[in-house]
Structure 1
Amino acid sequence: METLVQFQVFSETIIKPSSPTPISFRYHKLSSIDQSIQNVYGSMAFFYQKSHASDDWPPNEIISQVLQIALSKTLTYYYPMAGRLLNNLFVDCNDTGAQFIEARIQCPMSEILKQYSHSQLKEQIFPRSLFSCVPEGGSLLIVQLNYFGCGSIAVGVCTAHKVADASTISTFMNDWAAMARRESSDFPSPHFNGASLFPPVLNDPKLVQYNPPNSETIVTKRFLFHASKIEELKAMAADSGLNNLTRYEVVTALIYSCAICATMMNTGSFRPSILANAVNIRSLTISPLPQKYVGNFVRFFPVCVTLDDEVGLKILVHKLRDGKIKFHNEFNEIGGMSGGEVAMVKGNEGNNFDVYYCSSLCTFPFYDVDFGWGRPSLVCLAARGEVMNTFILMDMEDGIGIDAHVMLKQVDMCVFERNELLRSFAYSDPISRM
């Protein structure tokens, strides 16, 4: 049963860069990959547990002041995030600023965490605009600082996906945190060269925005794969003949297999499907790019399941490995499969194929985001409600286990979460077990 909590937004302000953006940097070109990304917010919440045994925890007023001053300084370096989008071609880096919201939630943080999967509670952690497209003239960065009755805090961060992928958000958050800790010896050094590598285009049908259908009720649930269970899963798949299986391969294969099985049980028949796997291409270019390259540097490689005897774990692990190797080999020649092209696959196949998406945020140092009062006790995503058939993998706090966010139609989720194979490797609704 959902707990009713008192929630109040008591402050909203605009944070501008501490120094004006030079005229020569006024217009930041989007890359062709940025252009193909939906005009939505990507979002994360960073939960910080107050330690009552420590005297280092600052008062709320100091926390707010530290975050706002550090954000203003950080935006001087990440100036596009303080600008506004123009016609899917540019960011007008006009220093309009980022939104900064403060809210009180009159309950312990533990109560929110126990029921985080409920949309009403999730929406309180994030700005309301998270659950809509980025409006014309809207902020590209929105921060909501939440104060809990127990003294703990949560920082909800929403960034326009047009200007930031997961790697960018990770880099930005760690630079902001370093600025808050006053580690001025190492100033942020983001690079904004995406458009020179992937030039923007006009009137390209590949860049037509794909809007997922929202007529179905979509449910997001989280499944926790502890390190020991991942090793068991690797052992189960090992006799497929592959060596050095990765966390991503075995967990993704299991989730994909169980999702297909759920659809089969609900429809009574097998449907061919495509799994589009996101790849951070910064390390794949001929001259590897630093992780501090800002924007979207993501391509996709497909895994196709066209026969019902291809749904098993071992076969899917093989398909994932083969698809990844092919993508790496061909990337510099053909550029891989873009997000826009994935949408075209969906459109061209019509009702003949189901399309799934998987993205791994593992290895990005989200748990290193320390503003001066310690590392976060939990980092979570907030998924927009209409994103269907999507799996997002994150590190657990130990950096070894995997925290998987799975978004499926409600009817499919009811079957998916009862899958015995899945239940033998993953805990569902893991936050309630903290």
Structure 2
Amino acid sequence: MVMIGKLLRVTRRQLHTIISRDIIKPANPTPSHLQTYNLSEIDLLAEKAYMPLILFYPKNASCSLTAQDKASVLKKSLSQSLTKYHHFAGRLPTRTTPYVDCNDEGIVFLEARNDSRLDAFQLTSAEDGNLDYLFADDMVCYNSPHNRNLVGVQLNHFACGGVGLAISVSHLVGDGCTLGSFMLHWASVARYGSPHHKEVLPLNPHFIHVPRTNSPLSEAPVMNQHLASSTTRVMKKFVFPNSKLSDLKKVVADETNNPTRVEVLTSLLYRTAVAAATTKSGCFKPSYLFMMADVRKHFVDKLPQTTVGNFVSMMMVPTRHESQTSISMLVAEIKKQKLQLKGVQSVEQAAKSMKLVHSKFRNDDLEHLSNGSYASSSLCGMAFGKVDFGWGKPMAKAFAFRSAGRNAFLLMDSTDGDGIEAHVILEKEDMEIFQNDKELLSFCQVNM
């Protein structure tokens, strides 16, 4: 382990010090027959970006572990977990190579000390960059050409004894479901002390081996090329209690059969964002909602949720006229798009559907796409709030995705389980209008 003395002055009152750096390797060498992990056709379409998740744990009075003990438990269990998720500890041979060399080089594990108390830490200030420094080696958004790590971890110790565990996983080797499965597996190994414990075995990763593709990784993803913008964007979190979501579902129930929480909330967020942009510009402009959907359950032979990789498809909902932005019409279009995802026969078929959307994306009114498109992802149903390493469940969680350079909505189950947290990224002027929308505020609580 390398001891570090890097000191960051985050604000006048908050000091953040990197105190150690380590490389965690699999507890056992990866067998020769598993030393190459081929990326699938869907993986190749994924952005070269990290998924940066942080879980905040308060000091647990019933847990006698010291800060050093917690770090030791995390490192040991991570090493054990990497024997199952062996490709996480590997490297891409080059920036365009379509496979991972599972060479056991390991993943970076940093420890840091923050002089503030966790209960005083502003969890909603990601728009000011107050989460970025909690992650290892700037692994917050788009992959740096100088950083070859697929996964990075940073354990942040707060003055009160609480911790913030930050993990970044490259989108090339998995989606949000993969990240959730890995966190549950790692935490269970930590709690039970072995990856072979009977409680851990059902959480083992499921791999689908795909043939080596001849297609190289692109230097820059299509979505990033068109959507990234230098426009100033901010992120704010809005909380929608289940009782309010039930009221929202009733609004469209007469016109739409059995709408889900995610469908109605995504429609409300998109409708409100488009209305804010219209108010700012003075006229309606054609807009697009891009939604990512987990297709594991849509395969003819359903895939386990522990299936590793990117098993997603993209739905595109265009609104070319203002009359198409009613919540009921948007929900109906989302449901129509979802029906087209069913009956997936193979990874190749799912990738073909993704490529079709990309093709439409390239050819359909590109001049409007930079500011007139909204990307939406839902992590609802993924048990990030249940990740227990032995000192209790997290008090809060967050994704540091502020620098994605686009309009975006990210939905997660609220920490108390009674609703959905919506992390919204919009242009600064649009956000000023969005956060004061009376219809939106009637269904939510807002964290400014």
TM-score w.r.t. length of structure 2: 0.88
> Could you say which residue in structure 1 is the equivalent of 2:334?
320
1:34 and 2:43 aligned:
yes
Alignment check: 8 A CA contact 1:274 1:303 kept:
yes
- The reply to whether residue 368 of structure 1 matches residue 386 of structure 2 is yes
The reply on whether 1:382 has 2:396 as its aligned counterpart is no
Task: Give the corresponding residue for 2:366.
Answer: 350
CA deviation after TM superposition for structure 1 residue 145, in Å: 0.2
Sort the Cα spacing of 1:341 and 1:13 in 2 relative to 1 into closer, same or farther, 3 A: farther
Aligned CA distance change for structure 1 residues 90 and 109 (closer, same or farther; 3 Å)? same
Q: Per the alignment, in what secondary structure is the counterpart of residue 236 of structure 1?
A: helix
Partner of residue 218, structure 1: 233
Report the Cα distance in structure 1 between the residues aligned to 2:98 and 2:217, rounded to whole angstroms: 12
CA distance in structure 2 between the aligned counterparts of 1:316 and 1:424, rounded to whole angstroms:
19
Aligned to 1:168: 178
- Contact 1:30/1:88, CA 8 A, preserved across alignment: no
List aligned pairs for 1:188-199, cutoff 5 A: 189-193=204-208, 195=210
Contact map agreement 1:26 1:93 (CA 8 A) in 2? yes
* Equivalent in the alignment of 2:187: 177
Equivalent in the alignment of 1:359: 377
**Mapped partners of 1:158, 1:309: distance in 2:** 40
Q: Tell me, in whole angstroms, the C-alpha distance in 2 between the residues paired with 1:158 and 1:389.
A: 21
Tell me how far 1:359 sits from its aligned partner.
Answer: 1.0
C-alpha distance in 1, partners of 2:190/2:208? 26
Say which of 20, 26, 32 aligns to 1:23: 32
Indicate yes or no: 2:215 matched with 1:202: yes
Q: 2:440 aligns with which of 405, 418, 422?
A: 422
Determine whether 1:72 maps to 2:72: no
1:235 equivalenced with 2:250 (yes/no)? yes
Three-state SS of the structure 1 residue aligned to 2:154 is: strand
**Secondary structure at the residue paired with 1:13?**
strand
- Structure 1 residue 341 displacement after superposition: 4.6
Q: What is the identity, as a one-letter code, of the residue corresponding to 1:120?
A: G
1:213 Cα deviation after fit: 2.2
TM-score normalised by L of structure 1: 0.91
Using the TM superposition, name which of 305-314 and 69-78 deviates more. 305-314
Give yes or no for contact 1:42–1:161 (8 Å, CA) kept in 2.
yes
- TM-fit CA distance, 1:167: 0.7
Shift in Å at residue 111 of structure 1? 2.0
- Between 371-380 and 229-238, report the one with greater CA deviation: 229-238
Q: Deviations over 1:254-291 (max 9, x none)?
A: 00100110111112111112212111111111111111
Secondary structure at 1:244's aligned position in 2?
coil
Structure 1: 5+ residue stretches without partners: none
CA deviation after TM superposition for structure 1 residue 356, in Å: 1.7
Aligned counterparts of 2:404 and 2:390: Cα–Cα separation in 1: 36
Following TM superposition, by how much is the alpha carbon of 1:420 offset from its aligned partner in structure 2, in angstroms? Answer: 1.1
2: CA distance, partners of 1:103 / 1:346: 42
- Where does the alignment leave 5 or more consecutive residues of structure 2 unmatched? 1-10
Q: C-alpha distance in 2, partners of 1:350/1:219?
A: 23
Aligned twin of 2:420: 402
In 1, Cα distance between equivalents of 2:354 and 2:373: 12
Give the CA deviation at 1:318: 1.8
Equivalent residue for 2:100, pick from 87, 91, 106: 91
Percent identity at matched positions? 33
Following the alignment from structure 1 to structure 2, what is the Cα–Cα distance between the partners of residues 330 and 144? Answer: 38
Deviations 1:296-319 (A, max 9, x none): 000012212111111122222222
Q: Is the 8 A contact 2:298 2:343 kept in 1?
A: no
Could you report, residue by residue, the CA deviation over 1:192-211 in whole angstroms, capped at 9, with x for unpaired residues? 21525xx7342699x95432
Q: State the 1:217 CA deviation.
A: 1.0
The Cα of 1:328 is off from its aligned counterpart by: 2.6
Shift of 1:137: 5.7
283 and 72 in structure 1: CA distance in 2 versus 1, 3 angstrom threshold: same
Q: Name whichever of 89-98 and 267-276 sits farther off.
A: 267-276
Rounded to whole Å, the distance in 2 between the matches of 1:337 and 1:423 is 39
Query: How many residues are aligned here?
Result: 424
Distance, in Å, in 1 between the alignment partners of 2:97 and 2:355 is 14
Give RMSD over aligned pairs: 2.4
Q: What SS is found at the alignment partner of 1:219?
A: strand
1:7 counterpart residue number: 16
Partners of 1:208 and 1:5 lie apart in 2 by 37
